[in-house]
Structure formats: C-alpha cells, structure tokens
Amino acid sequence: MYQFIGKRVLVHLYSREGIAVGTVEGRVADVAKAVEVAEGMKKDLVFVVDIQTGDPENPYKNSAGMEGESWFAIQDIEILDDEKPRLFTN
C-alpha cells in the first residue's frame, strides 16, 4: 500500500446511499491499513491532500470542515499515470 504515497489520484465520490456524485483529484500523503470505519467493517484508507475540484470557487471540504484534504477508501481511488492513457483502470 505504501507505493501509493506521492501518487496523483482521482477519487470517485459517492453519497451515503452509494450513488456516484463526482470526482476530485489530489495526491496521496499517507495510508492506513484495516481501519474500522463502522462496527465490524474495516477498510484500507489513503489520506489525499492538495485536492482540486476543478472549480476554485468551490474547494473540497471534508466532513470535519478541513479544506483540500481527507481520508478515502482505497477502492475509491484511481492512480493517474501521465505515461499511460486512462482506459478503464482499477
């Protein structure tokens, strides 16, 4: 999992109901393995910083109100690689 640190990623965002609501781009700064996100449910997480929404008037804010950074489930990220085209990755 540590190979993700420093990588540019696209994060796919979902509502609490599981409906896709958009994407943001950022850089992985940290990882955490097997974090309990709900009772009996553990997920591997990445901490993404420098989050860009594509709209400077509406920056990304996490649930704690911090701007431009947040933890996300590893299954919701897509590594951006400038060397390869983005064709159905992950």
pLDDT in tens, 28-87: 999 999 999 999 999 999 999 999 999 989 999 988 999 999 999 999 999 997 666 555
**Does residue 87 belong to any structural domain of this protein?**
no
Q: Quick one: DSSP state of residue 50? A: E
Residue whose C-alpha is closest to residue 70's, from 79, 80, 61: 61
> What pLDDT is stored for residue 63 in this prediction?
86
Domain range enclosing 27: 2-79
Number of domains observed in the structure of the chain: 1
Rounded to the nearest 5°, which phi and psi values hold at 57? -75, -20
Confidence band of 22 (pLDDT split at 50, 70, 90): very high
**Does residue 90 belong to any structural domain of this protein?**
no
Strand, helix or coil at 15? Answer: coil
89 pLDDT higher than 70: no
90 pLDDT higher than 60: no
Distance, in Å, from the CA atom of 8 to the CA atom of 74, rounded to the nearest integer, reads 13
**Does residue 30 belong to any structural domain of this protein?**
yes
This prediction's pTM: 0.85
**Does residue 36 belong to any structural domain of this protein?**
yes
**Does residue 88 belong to any structural domain of this protein?**
no
